[in-house]
A and B are shown apart, each in its own frame.
Chain A
Amino acid sequence: MNEKIPLRTFAEKVAETTGRSEAEMESLIRRLFELIAEGLHEGRKVEVKGLGTFSLSDNPADPVDFYPASAWAERVNAPFAMFTPEELAPDASESDFNEIGSIAEEESDTPDSLPQHDQSADSTATEPVAGPAAADNLTEETKAAAHQSDAASEVAVIESPEVADSPEESADDRTLDTPAATEEAVLSSPEADSFVNSQDNHDEAVETTDNYAENSTDDATEKNGFGRGFIVGLIVGLAIGALGLCCYVMYFVHASGETQPVETELVETAPLPVE
């Protein structure tokens, strides 16, 4: 789509159609257009059956005119062959065109609106980022629990998936809301029905929004999976850190508590040998 096809690629595709070799078709294509150019040099029109007619023009900037054959032009326009020009109602106003345009934009921009939906999905995905506020509360709980015992910190780690599930629920709520909103947006333009057979367009738009909702739900679940893992990892890391700190403090306090009596004993016992 919108690519510039070189001669070699063109010859490959023709060779696939004819079953001949690429080199053979490339030389044939070159020679065919050389003969057309020779005919133009001699000031003649050159007609190629099934393609069109080449002729000289008076414009020195573009000295060759190409008039495609009608059958070939229809084949080129095949993607839009089903459309025909329609006469517009004389009382049609500019606002009606704008409504048609907005409907057309909604339909044509459905792939483009996916990033917007992704943004909403991102906002759900950022809720885990807002979620760390909740996660901080949890980590505080885990810190307190870690000071008490190791078992308490394990409980806090087990509870963390519930917090991670909450963004998933909110993502579901949002994705359920969006199709309804887009349906309302599409159905809120009944006047446009007088111009085009937009009922089909409405159905297609609803289908695209449904597909879009499914896609965005998948995206949201994928991003929630990432958020859940992040929160669980964060909590486990903090719990391990708190446990290590607790062990260090307990060891230090215990060690310092044991050394003091030893010193006193040594002080008390030291004079004994002197006596």
Chain B
Amino acid sequence: MTDTKSLETQLSMESGKNAGAIEADIKAIADVLGELCAQGDSVAIPGFGTFQSVKTDEHVHTDDDGHRMLVPPSITVEFKSSVVLRKSLN
């Protein structure tokens, strides 16, 4: 398991910045990525993949017990790996 700390340490060593600045940058990357996906946009990272925003419409879900729930619309994010990453992993 690679956690955020080891990523921050690696990036800090390579860039020469302190770990706090790298942590703030990674947080900004995650925030901007989330904002763009919330707007319905997709973000493509070359050589890695695409974060795709997927909107699910309002629908009725029936439980096993027969209870019906009105499920509101929602936005989720799906990650689709790039061809380069797929070939390198397979």
Contact = CB atoms under 8 A, between A and B. Distances in A.
A208 to B, nearest CB: 19
Contacts of B22: 28
A214 B2 CA distance: 59
A44 B2 contact: yes
Contact of A7 (B3, B39, B44): B44
A254 interface: no
A170 to B, nearest CB: 40
Chain A interface extent, by class: 35 or more
Interface in B54-90: 60-61, 67-81, 85-86, 88-90
A68 B77 contact: yes
B42 A5 contact: yes
Interface in A162-217: 195-196
Interface string A40-59: 11001111111100101000
A185 B48 CA distance: 51
A259 interface: no
Contacts of B42: 3-5
Contacts of A78: 38
A62 B26 contact: no
B40 to A, nearest CB: 5
Interface in B1-35: 1-4, 7, 10-11, 14-15, 22-35
Contacts of A45: 1-2
A3 B44 CA distance: 10
B4 A10 contact: no
B72 A97 contact: no
Interface residues of B, number: 62
A62 B80 contact: yes
A226 interface: no
A76 interface: yes
B89 A40 contact: yes
Nearest to B43: A5
Contacts of A87: 67-70
Contact of A33 (B24, B31, B40, B48): B48
Contacts of A30: 45-47
B38 to A, nearest CB: 5
A20 B76 contact: no
A14 B48 CA distance: 18
Contacts of A54: 79
A87 B22 CA distance: 45
Given A44-B1, A63-B89, A80-B72, A17 B15 contact: no
A260 interface: no
Contacts of B26: 32, 48-51
A35 B7 contact: yes
Contact of B60 (A31, A56, A88): A88
Given A48-B7, A64-B79, 18 more contacts: A4-B50, A10-B32, A14-B29, A28-B25, A30-B47, A32-B26, A35-B2, A39-B2, A44-B1, A44-B2, A49-B3, A51-B29, A54-B79, A63-B89, A66-B77, A78-B38, A80-B72, A86-B70
Interface of B: 1-4, 7, 10-11, 14-15, 22-51, 53, 60-61, 67-81, 85-86, 88-90
Interface of A: 1-7, 10, 13-14, 17-18, 20, 25, 28-37, 39-41, 44-51, 54, 56, 60-66, 68, 72-73, 75-80, 83-88, 90, 92, 97, 195-196
